Amino acid sequence: MAGITLSNVRKTYAGGVAAVKGVSIDIEDGEFIVLVGPSGCGKSTLLRMVAGLEAITEGEISIGDRVVNKIEPADRDIAMVFQNYALYPHMTVYNNLAYGLKNRGIKKEEIDRRVREAARILEIADYLDRKPRALSGGQRQRVAMGRAIVREPKAFLFDEPLSNLDAKLRVQMRIEIKKLQKALGTTSLYVTHDQLEAMTLADRLVVLNGGQVEQIGTPIDVYENPASTFVASFIGSPAMNLMEIERDNAQWHLSRGDGLSLKSELEERSAILGLRPEDLHIVEDETQLEDPLVLSLIVSAVEPVGAESYVHATLGEQGQEVIVRAPGKQHFEVGSVLKVAAKREKLHFFSSETGKALTSTGKLQPA
């Protein structure tokens, strides 16, 4: 087992399209790292570069103490789980698992032991003699996992392994992958575009956007202290409410329209204010409040999801949409006025030029 280090890794395709623009990540031994971002952000390319399936244009990738830039995929001592599983259709499940071991000259008894052990862990022992076409999607997924496990590699690479499964199975497999990774303690790099999957699996998240790292941190850290408006809107569902605000002397107001009352020592002339839907609480009488922020909203729609409701409301004359997370039992009238407030520590400020996070006094947050 080993850590993985990426230093200033770049990928430029023939024709000058840059997919990855200088990414540096230090992955510790045994860590579960999730690369998350929208499609086209370079996360899969990055993973494939670690696997050796994609050439590295610039920078350096090391697995353990060894720089692997010029090393063949088979010699990197990694195992990869593909999105469409990529099982060998002409081999039985047993041979699918054993193939990588046979090619490495491992003894027959050892191969058999490892395959049966992996099959037991993944509960696919009954299917060892079947061909992949006779398996369901979930079973194929397990075989793909098994193929990675038997190798006992330095690192697991997962390329959106759950995206072909139905929602229920996805949740189940997500938990199993997490348990398995903890039990084996193998360094893992996992790519997904699903922020929920990313949050639940990761020891640390790497949020990518446009081929660059937006933020690296534990899921909670990324959630609570997003480094930019991109991260703020990408992580969390429903997304963080973002609104442009401006300052006249000491008085803050929305860039377009009113309905906002904010006390802040922020020194900028303008900023982007970010508010998580659950950090907004509904108030009856604002005069007694200590909270620095109060919004006057007009309810436009309510989405009850059971335990809670997402109240969609508008603010200001441009009809800026704000989502408020409210208890499920509360009733809201569409068209009625709703006053919500937020505590000081729940306010997020971002630079209106760069979108990067600011401290409450307007300093750029230390990365």
Q: Does the footprint of other proteins cover residue 22 (CB under 8 A)?
A: no
147 belongs to the binding site for other proteins (CB under 8 A)? yes
Query: By C-alpha distance, which of 283, 254, 290, 286 is closest to 271?
Result: 254
For residues 133 and 331, which CB has a smaller minimum distance to other proteins in the complex?
133
133 binds other proteins (CB under 8 A): yes
Quick check: 81 and 118 in contact, CB under 8 A? Answer: no
Contacts of 366 (CB under 8 A, 6+ apart): none
Closer by beta carbon to other proteins, 184 or else 196: 184
Distance CA 100, CA 76 (A): 13
152 SS3 class: coil
Closest among 202, 177, 208, 171 to 36, alpha carbons compared: 208
Q: Decide: is 108 part of the binding site for other proteins (CB under 8 A).
A: no
Among 110, 50, 51, CA closest to 97 = 110
Task: Tell me: does residue 131 bind other proteins (CB under 8 A).
Answer: yes
- Looking at the Cβ atoms of 139 and 241, the one nearer to other proteins is 139
* 61 Cβ contact partners less than 8 Å away, ≥ 6 residues apart: 4, 5, 6, 7, 9, 49, 50, 67, 68, 69
Is the Cβ of residue 52 or residue 226 nearer to other proteins in the bound state? 52
Does the protein bind other proteins through residue 82 (CB under 8 A)? Answer: yes
Binding of other proteins by 66 (CB under 8 A): no
Kindly state the number of chain residues that form the binding site for other proteins, as judged by CB under 8 A: 24
Give 49 or 245: the residue with its C-beta nearer to other proteins: 49
80 touches other proteins (CB under 8 A) = yes
Positions 254 through 313 that interact with other proteins (CB under 8 A): none
CB of 104 to other proteins, least distance (A): 8
On the CB side of 359, CA atoms within 13 Å amount to 6
Looking at the Cβ atoms of 79 and 347, the one nearer to other proteins is: 79
User: Binding residue for other proteins (CB under 8 A) from 89, 306, 327, 335?
Assistant: 89
CB closer to other proteins out of 95 and 200: 95
Does 111 bind other proteins (CB under 8 A)? Our answer is no
Is residue 11 at the binding interface for other proteins, with CB under 8 A as the rule? Answer: no
Give the Cα-Cα-Cα angle 237, 241, 245 (nearest 5 degrees): 165
Local structure of residue 285 (DSSP, 8 states): -
Q: To 5 degrees, how large is the angle CA 66–CA 107–CA 65? A: 10
If the CB atoms of residues 84 and 136 are measured against other proteins, the closer one turns out to be 84
* Of 64, 100, 304, 355, the one binding other proteins by CB under 8 A: 100
Is there binding between residue 2 and other proteins (CB under 8 A)?
no
Run of H or E residues at 101: helix 93-102
**Interatomic CA distance for residues 140 and 134, integer angstroms:** 9
Interface residues toward other proteins, by CB under 8 A: 51-53, 72-75, 78-80, 82-84, 86-90, 99-100, 103, 131, 133, 147
